[in-house]
Copies of this chain bind each other. A is one copy, B any other.
């Protein structure tokens, strides 16, 4: 294995979007004349990170090694070029949020400033992005504040080095039940995260097993503190996933009941102990009463009681409790058609709205099920009005091709962010809700499950780097378009060559819908192999206890989730969404089978029958992957061989496996419905 931190040996893909390739054009010359000197106002570790990055970027992109001067100052800024060219106004400072930055230019100077050193760091990365993509100095000026305060990454890393749902190798933090001593790769990871505005990271799996429970003990806290120190220099707070049963497992208590005084005291003392080591720990992330994890239900308590008890312990130290809403009955009888997992999170948490302390944040998955290729938005968004909340996305491609398939997820996330909940009239979109613009929230924002591992290219599939990049960019600015993010990422990662941008953009922007086509139709989800969640298996979860059924028979498929006839899930939404989902004719077709039971011979708006739609999309999906491969082949010689070959290899796997998906799914439905393909293609 390549040693982390040994960037040259890691290969071209290791640098991701921070490769700082030479820019050779007139714009570069303009910058070269400016960027000979840098004056640093305000000294701190984070400022030093900014300066380091600026030097690295200028050297790479322009070949310039600027003279760096330091000035003691209350201002936090980098002055590039002439010292007197640009200045900060009171208006600027007023407009800036705590983490915002300002870029200003004149003929011979560039100013990167923030209200805090974090702002300067974000500004520096933004400046280098502009430089790399060739934006002219005169077009550089901008002021940006992040959309929300919590912009987090969740790692599902275990101390043994394994990663739950990891598809890019093992953990970069842990190996063989120890922290990895060489931290150079962690520092590079902090740079990557910070460059797109991420400011929080939970380092261990939400399923906290025996060893990971010990992360909050004096035995392991010094090691956590060391990691936290590296991230701190890049403005990133560390969080820990904790085991709700810690008072029993670590404290020797007989209970973890949140209303028990001894339990409360134990957590208060524990919090004090943890903050000794990491005074700026972000807080705890908690998966409780979910998929066999312990929680307040064990003691007949509610989630607010459970969360508030922890919140009280963290409050004196400014920590927060991030409490996951992924709570459902995972021992459902498949024969039971009344129970609906889709209802679970809503039904558990809506009655608790307003009961959580203000340093508790609910972390809500984008959909009511579990990161399927297509789901409606969780009705908790717009449902909860008096509770801090963040949106949980999944960057790691558990159900979207496991980084063997290209699946650019930004368009999926954009649909979620732009979803109109009608919670407080028009404009109550998910992005406004989780940015605290609809209801006042002390804490709000974003979390997402990491897709990185110790593979040389971080993400297994080189093109999957774009998902991490895009996630960060959206947390900063959810109004960015998928197209803009794709182009920016390609320019930074590969080239400013319009042909390369066009080709890779085409692949990325289409890839999610392509994956959807050859896997799971019209919102039905699942139909994959149990446990590892890869590969077609239409009945894979059909007779399981996991609450995820398609109920296909010879005539129809889909789950009736209407209020009138079904599980009532459609009614959890505000009008007019509830009415839209309730009515088969108004329901968006991509979610038709999520909300309705539909006959194979039912005509869709396209005029096709449902069954023909299934056949057609599955054939089309494979054809599109064939096109991706063709397009990628056209890049041979235009990008470095290493990344060219690596992506090609994955596309070959994707094509082979997409064909398997097509054939298994089509055969399944043909064998069940007996309705032949109108076009007479081969179905087995």
Q: Give 1 or 0 for each of A657-684: 1 = CB within 8 Å of chain B CB.
A: 0001001100110111110000000001
B664 touches A543 (CB 8 A): yes
User: Which of A42-50, A80-88, A311-319, A532-540 lines the interface with chain B?
Assistant: A532-540
The answer, among B552, B660, B663, B672, for a CB contact under 8 Å with A553, is B672
Q: How many residues on the A side are at the interface (Cβ–Cβ under 8 A)?
A: 22
The answer, among B334, B553, B660, for a CB contact under 8 Å with A671, is B553
A684 touches B553 (CB 8 A): no
- A641–chain B nearest beta-carbon distance, Å: 31
- Complex Cα distance, B555 from A597, in Å, reads 23
- Complex Cα distance, B531 from A537, in Å, reads 15
- Complex Cα distance, B663 from A335, in Å, reads 9
- Which residues on the B side are within 8 Å of A674 (C-beta)? 553-555
A672 touches B335 (CB 8 A): no
Q: A335-B663, A672-B671, A672-B672 are in contact. Are A543 and B553 (CB under 8 A)?
A: no
Task: Select from chain B the residue with minimum beta-carbon distance to A664.
Answer: B543
Q: Give 1 or 0 for each of A459-471: 1 = CB within 8 Å of chain B CB.
A: 0000000000000
Task: Select from chain B the residue with minimum beta-carbon distance to A551.
Answer: B671
- Which residues on the B side are within 8 Å of A543 (C-beta)? 536-537, 660, 663-664, 667
- Which residues on the B side are within 8 Å of A555 (C-beta)? 674
- Complex Cα distance, B539 from A682, in Å, reads 20
Task: Select from chain B the residue with minimum beta-carbon distance to A539.
Answer: B539
B536 touches A537 (CB 8 A): no
Task: Select from chain B the residue with minimum beta-carbon distance to A529.
Answer: B530
- Which residues on the B side are within 8 Å of A660 (C-beta)? 543
- A667–chain B nearest beta-carbon distance, Å: 7
- A232–chain B nearest beta-carbon distance, Å: 44
B537 touches A671 (CB 8 A): no
- Which residues on the B side are within 8 Å of A672 (C-beta)? 553-554, 671-672
- Which residues on the B side are within 8 Å of A684 (C-beta)? 334-335
Task: Select from chain B the residue with minimum beta-carbon distance to A337.
Answer: B684
- Complex Cα distance, B684 from A538, in Å, reads 17
Task: Select from chain B the residue with minimum beta-carbon distance to A682.
Answer: B335
The answer, among B553, B667, B673, for a CB contact under 8 Å with A670, is B553
B671 touches A552 (CB 8 A): yes
- A534–chain B nearest beta-carbon distance, Å: 14
- A77–chain B nearest beta-carbon distance, Å: 61
- Which residues on the B side are within 8 Å of A667 (C-beta)? 543
B536 touches A538 (CB 8 A): no
- Complex Cα distance, B335 from A537, in Å, reads 15
Task: Select from chain B the residue with minimum beta-carbon distance to A663.
Answer: B335
- Complex Cα distance, B660 from A610, in Å, reads 31
- A587–chain B nearest beta-carbon distance, Å: 24
- Which residues on the B side are within 8 Å of A334 (C-beta)? 684
Task: Select from chain B the residue with minimum beta-carbon distance to A665.
Answer: B543
- Complex Cα distance, B335 from A673, in Å, reads 19
- Which residues on the B side are within 8 Å of A673 (C-beta)? 554
- Complex Cα distance, B555 from A539, in Å, reads 19
- Which residues on the B side are within 8 Å of A537 (C-beta)? 539, 543
Task: Select from chain B the residue with minimum beta-carbon distance to A556.
Answer: B671
Task: Select from chain B the residue with minimum beta-carbon distance to A535.
Answer: B543
- A535–chain B nearest beta-carbon distance, Å: 9
Among A552, A664, A671, A684, find the residue whose CB has the most chain B CB atoms closer than 10 A. Answer: A671
- Complex Cα distance, B543 from A660, in Å, reads 9
Q: Give 1 or 0 for each of A425-464: 1 = CB within 8 Å of chain B CB.
A: 0000000000000000000000000000000000000000
B554 touches A671 (CB 8 A): yes
- Complex Cα distance, B538 from A543, in Å, reads 10
- A664–chain B nearest beta-carbon distance, Å: 5
- A674–chain B nearest beta-carbon distance, Å: 4
Q: Give 1 or 0 for each of A536-562: 1 = CB within 8 Å of chain B CB.
A: 111100010000000011110000000
Among A543, A552, A667, find the residue whose CB has the most chain B CB atoms closer than 10 A. Answer: A543
- Complex Cα distance, B671 from A538, in Å, reads 13
Q: Give 1 or 0 for each of A257-292: 1 = CB within 8 Å of chain B CB.
A: 000000000000000000000000000000000000
- A671–chain B nearest beta-carbon distance, Å: 4
- A553–chain B nearest beta-carbon distance, Å: 4
- Complex Cα distance, B536 from A660, in Å, reads 23
Task: Select from chain B the residue with minimum beta-carbon distance to A672.
Answer: B672
Q: Give 1 or 0 for each of A10-40: 1 = CB within 8 Å of chain B CB.
A: 0000000000000000000000000000000
- A132–chain B nearest beta-carbon distance, Å: 46
- A554–chain B nearest beta-carbon distance, Å: 4
625-684 of chain A: CB within 8 A of chain B = 660, 663-664, 667-668, 670-674, 684
- Which residues on the B side are within 8 Å of A553 (C-beta)? 670-672, 674
Task: Select from chain B the residue with minimum beta-carbon distance to A671.
Answer: B553
- Complex Cα distance, B660 from A552, in Å, reads 19
Task: Select from chain B the residue with minimum beta-carbon distance to A553.
Answer: B671
- Complex Cα distance, B553 from A670, in Å, reads 8
504-538 of chain A: CB within 8 A of chain B = 536-538
Q: Give 1 or 0 for each of A325-349: 1 = CB within 8 Å of chain B CB.
A: 0000000001100000000000000
- Which residues on the B side are within 8 Å of A536 (C-beta)? 543
Interchain residue pairs with CB less than 8 A apart (6): A335-B663, A537-B539, A543-B660, A543-B663, A543-B664, A554-B673
Given contacts A553-B670, A553-B671, A554-B674, 11 further A-B contacts (CB under 8 A): A334-B684, A335-B663, A538-B539, A539-B539, A543-B660, A553-B672, A554-B554, A554-B671, A554-B673, A555-B674, A672-B672
The 5 closest A-B pairs by CB, nearest first: A553-B671, A554-B674, A543-B664, A335-B684, A539-B539
